[in-house]
Chain A
Amino acid sequence: MLDQFLQSLQDTSIATAIREGETLFPWIECVHVLALTVVIGSIAIVDLRLIGLTSRDRSVIQTTASVLPVTWTAFTFAVITGGLLFASNATTYAHNFYFQVKIALIAMAGVNMAAYHLFLNRGADSWHTPQLTPFRARLVGGLSLCLWIAIAAFGRWIGFTINTPT
């Protein structure tokens, strides 16, 4: 059932064009890399502020307000380009161990982020001093940083376990 869906995704004309074209795949990869560097870089700005290592002269809320719109814009591009790359070889990627772990890690990063925004950021408007933020904020930031580093690594490993130029 799932395999049937993946196969039909892979048979769409756009997926076929990406798979069979000479230059479409690398160009989409370029946009994907560009988007993911901005996603990870901008999330790191927030994480390092939550941990209390950088931007300590600004409040956590000022930091998230100025950075997160950049993150979400880049994340949108990363998802679209990632989806296109996936579609081009859906059946192979879906069975790739590194791809599966990467998606699971992104989901975990999403849960971590949601937990922060829904429950853990109470009192964040008072986190505006160079002093350390509360432990829960440092935990969320540290966890997010580790998850995104791992996501980058697993993403890179997909290319080495599937037959594409690396």
Chain B
Amino acid sequence: MTLQSLDSFCSWLAATSVSQVIQTVGWVIPAVQTVHILAVAAVVTSALMIDLRLLGIRGTEQPIAAIARRFLPFIWWPLPILLATGAILIIAEPARALENPVFILKMGLLLAAAGITLACQIPLQRNPAFWEISAGRKRVARLIAVASMPLWVAIICAGRWIAYVQGT
């Protein structure tokens, strides 16, 4: 999409009656942001608990697969809530997000975080002991955790910075 058509798409969306309602009913945006943050809390804390286990810092009395089984659902099922609440915020102020480089960066980081979560999860589904079989595998698991944590930190920072960076 060219910048011009993105521009007109944003103006069109902002003029729709749905967007107008969200913009004028004052409590909608803070309420939706609150739900968004609570869903982020579930995702980020779950990722952190898995990463801390992969690093051997917490939960070491249990196998990696047990921790993953407990927390992976709380990474994936808040995702529809995040997408829905995020979509409402975009409909309310389309240009604030869609024309914002930080928003694009956040989406890219999100894809990377999802990819790295799958990289940890898929081998476990075939073999629950996958990450604990050898010293080499344990090292790779630690690398996954070391890569995952900064991604989630960056996603949260980008989310907050959307409010401060102007669209192009």
Chain A: residues with CB nearer than 8 A to chain B?
Answer: 26-27, 29-30, 33-34, 36-38, 40-42, 44-45, 54-55, 57-58, 62, 66-67, 69-70, 149, 152-153, 156-157, 159-160, 165-166
Contact = CB atoms under 8 A, between A and B. Distances in A.
A33 B37 CA distance: 8
Nearest to A30: B157
29 contacts: A26-B161, A27-B157, A29-B160, A33-B160, A34-B44, A34-B156, A34-B157, A36-B37, A37-B40, A38-B45, A38-B48, A40-B38, A41-B42, A41-B45, A41-B46, A42-B45, A45-B49, A58-B62, A62-B61, A66-B58, A66-B59, A70-B48, A70-B49, A152-B34, A153-B31, A156-B30, A156-B37, A160-B26, A166-B30
Given A29-B160, A30-B160, A156-B37, A37 B30 contact: no
Interface residue tally on B, bucketed by range: 20 to 34
Interface of B: 26, 29-31, 33-34, 37-38, 40-42, 44-46, 48-49, 52, 58-59, 61-62, 66, 70, 153, 156-157, 159-161, 163-164
Contacts of B52: 70
B70 A26 contact: no
B45 A45 contact: yes
Contact of A44 (B33, B42, B156, B160): B42
Contacts of A26: 160-161, 163-164
Contacts of B156: 30, 33-34, 37
A46 B66 CA distance: 17
Contacts of B30: 153, 156-157, 159-160, 166
A37 B37 CA distance: 7
Contacts of A57: 66
B109 to A, nearest CB: 13
Contacts of A30: 156-157, 160-161
Nearest to A39: B41
Nearest to B52: A70
B42 A33 contact: no
Contacts of A44: 41-42, 45
Contacts of B26: 160
Contacts of A149: 34, 38
Given A37-B44, A38-B48, A160 B160 contact: no
